[in-house]
A and B are shown apart, each in its own frame.
Chain A
Amino acid sequence: MKAAGLLLTFLLSAGTVGAQDYLNCHFVPGWEPSGTKRQYAADNLFEYKDGGAEGYLSFGFVRMQGVTCASGGSTLDIDVSEMHDADSAYGMFAANLDSSLPIDKIGMGGQIQKQSASFAKGNYYVELVEIAQNPESDDSATMRAFAAKMLEHLEGRETPPAELAWFAKDDLVSTRMVPESVLGLRELKRGYVAKYKQGQAFIVQEESPEAAAAVMKSLRGRFAGATAVEAGDEGFKATVKYLDGICIFRKGKTIAGYANLADSQDAALLAAKLAARIP
């Protein structure tokens, strides 16, 4: 299996899906390629990422291309993962970011640290990890320079998913994309979650208002004692174990709401405000 994967990697690197010009150690003076470029598909990513590969796959991983650059006694691994779509690429970035640091305007979003960087642009999620000769050195300028040059060569969207702008900004701790089962509920297949100092909000898009209405019906069946609220086109609130005070509503094809608030009435009030921000 491993041999097959390595061979596949070699063959892919040899031809059809050739490493792209966004992988270039010479983007920053003083850096040279070290070893051959690497490529992985969904079937053999685990050889490179071990169990962590499953996280990539859950975000719609298609393929990864990477290169190792060297400068003096330092090495820099650059890996570019192509995901199924731009939202998934952003989702991968958001799942792996350091929530104690701000998100920079690098492509759809990025973070630069002393010896690492990550960002997303279009369908691509990019990771740079340096093993520096001096573990204490601040090489953020190098990271930023590589990121800037790579952005020039990567195609695709540079704006984060529109849904993120709908979340309230007050007391916001972090936002992320959940690739399946938002809030642990299978009906909410894929969406965005905003964590607040108190509770969390979520937004899920369905294909159509009809599909969203069907999901709402199924969800309502999960929460015994749910009562109707005025939010969007339809909504309900409930107080349940694990999700505490919760309010879920539908507006057109969008399903959204709040959870983990002390009281379902609080959730309903916040949900109504969220509904007003959704176009």
Chain B
Amino acid sequence: MSSKTSRREFLSAGLMIPVAGAGSKLGLSKLVDATAAQAPDAPVKLDYRVLGRTGLKVTTVGMGCMITSDGSVIERAADAGINYFDTARGYSNGNNERMVGAALGAKRKQVVLSTKTHAPDKAGMLQHLDKSLHELNTDYIDIWYLHGRSSSAEITDEMIEVQQTAKKAGKIRFAGVSTHSGQKELLPWMAHKGAFDVVLTSYNFSMSIGGDPGMDQAIATAAKAGLGVVAMKVMAGGIRSVKPSDPLYQKLTHPGALLSALKWVVNNPNVTTTIPSMTDNDQLEENLKAMGHPLTPGDSKVLAAHLEMIRPVYCRMCGECGGQCQKGLPVADVLRFLTYADGYGHFALGRERFLELTAEHKAVRCGDCAECTVQCPHGVHVAERVARAQELFA
């Protein structure tokens, strides 16, 4: 067995085990296999979970409406049985809320509707809330999120007070926070604070890079405290951006790759529901399959292939490699310069920064060392990448 095969299998196993383990240990979210509802074209099996202490029963696949192209897709999703819809005051300057409100129409009371405010203070939040109610054509919002908070420091007592007041006034039913980063600090803080009912967090298979269990633990902590956990950015973005010239393109873009990513998230019982963005009916039909179809070894292989692709080149800037190079190279800096060229297409910028290194560092050639002393804890092929930077820039 080649080392490459071993690593692939290891990654594949890594994708499966943490989630399955978390589920068997905690068993917090109740998975309810409900009777199939009628989809527009074909029967769809719907899975439901209870959204933490809210008690709301939601489908494990919800709908993120931000980039939905036409209201008919939302209408169709509701008819198919999806019962969680998400938008935000800030999406398309409020135009997205209007489209969602119009599309749901009479179905509004049959679904769980969430929106968000990015206002920094009480006056702004209240203004946003009234505007959201108007645009969504409803007299209550099920879950009202503070939008895009990266740490507890970004959530003031005043914001919490506004949410609680809105709850008492019946304008919202439950309070939440949405977050794209800083979850390892924020989620435990929310769990301890007790002022929130739901957290909306980015979560996908790529977060298992390096076998870091921190994100899964943060989500488990939130779920254990009774918070409903809604996952976004579930597709990890990367799969869609793979270029046809990439050797792994065929594997990563084969039909079902995106579905595999969604199923991986749904497989975590601590996640109550997911809100993949859906632009069209085809995407809707595919995403519906994540319900009633468990994650398979085949799905894990597809995702492992994606990790295989990004792992050797994806520097997380953790700084663990500092001081490890026997020639004294600032490894993280060199990797970053390479990212400017390879990742962002700014070759000139990458070269300019490389040439600012000391003469001694510029003269280093990785090929001169018999063995590289730098070991990246996240699996970046350091020697290979730094050598490429030297080849490109020196």
Contact = CB atoms under 8 A, between A and B. Distances in A.
Contact of B72 (A47, A178, A180, A184): A184
Interface in A45-79: 46-47, 50-52, 54-55, 58
Interface string B334-377: 00100010011010110011000000000000000000000000
A91 to B, nearest CB: 11
A16 B72 contact: no
B14 interface: no
A162 interface: no
Contacts of A198: none
B147 A11 contact: no
A95 B317 contact: no
Contacts of B68: 184
Interface string B153-181: 00000000000000000000000001011
Contact of B66 (A51, A96, A183): A51
A1 B69 contact: no
A183 B180 contact: no
B152 interface: no
Instruction: Report the contact-size class of chain B (Cβ under 8 Å from the partner).
Output: 35 or more
Instruction: Report the contact-size class of chain A (Cβ under 8 Å from the partner).
Output: 35 or more
A125 to B, nearest CB: 12
Interface in A9-28: 11-12, 15-17
Interface string A181-194: 11111100000010
A17 B349 contact: yes
Contacts of A8: 336, 340, 344
Interface in A124-183: 135, 178-183
B118 interface: yes
A3 B349 contact: no
Interface in B83-98: 88, 90-93, 95
B67 A58 contact: yes
Given A96-B95, A97-B93, A181 B181 contact: no
A248 B72 CA distance: 17
B75 interface: yes
B92 A181 contact: no
Interface string B290-318: 00000000000000000000000001110
Contacts of A7: 317, 336
A55 B317 contact: no
B217 interface: no
Chain B CB count within 10 A is highest, among A2, A11, A41, for A11
A227 interface: no
A217 to B, nearest CB: 17
Contact of A16 (B67, B180, B336, B352): B352
Contact of B280 (A4, A11, A12, A180): A180
Interface in B262-281: 277, 279-281
B40 interface: yes
Contacts of B90: 50-52
Given A7-B336, A51-B232, A15 B349 contact: yes
A224 to B, nearest CB: 11
A7 B346 CA distance: 15
A98 interface: yes
A181 B148 contact: no
Contacts of A16: 346, 348-349, 352
B281 A54 contact: no
Interface in A34-51: 41, 43, 46-47, 50-51
Given A4-B317, A8-B336, 14 more contacts: A3-B317, A11-B340, A11-B349, A12-B349, A15-B349, A16-B348, A50-B178, A51-B116, A96-B95, A180-B279, A183-B69, A184-B281, A242-B72, A243-B72
Interface of B: 40, 66-70, 72-73, 75-76, 88, 90-93, 95, 116, 118, 123, 147-148, 150, 178, 180-181, 232, 277, 279-283, 315-317, 336, 340, 343-344, 346, 348-349, 352-353
7 contacts: A43-B343, A43-B344, A97-B95, A181-B70, A183-B69, A184-B69, A184-B72
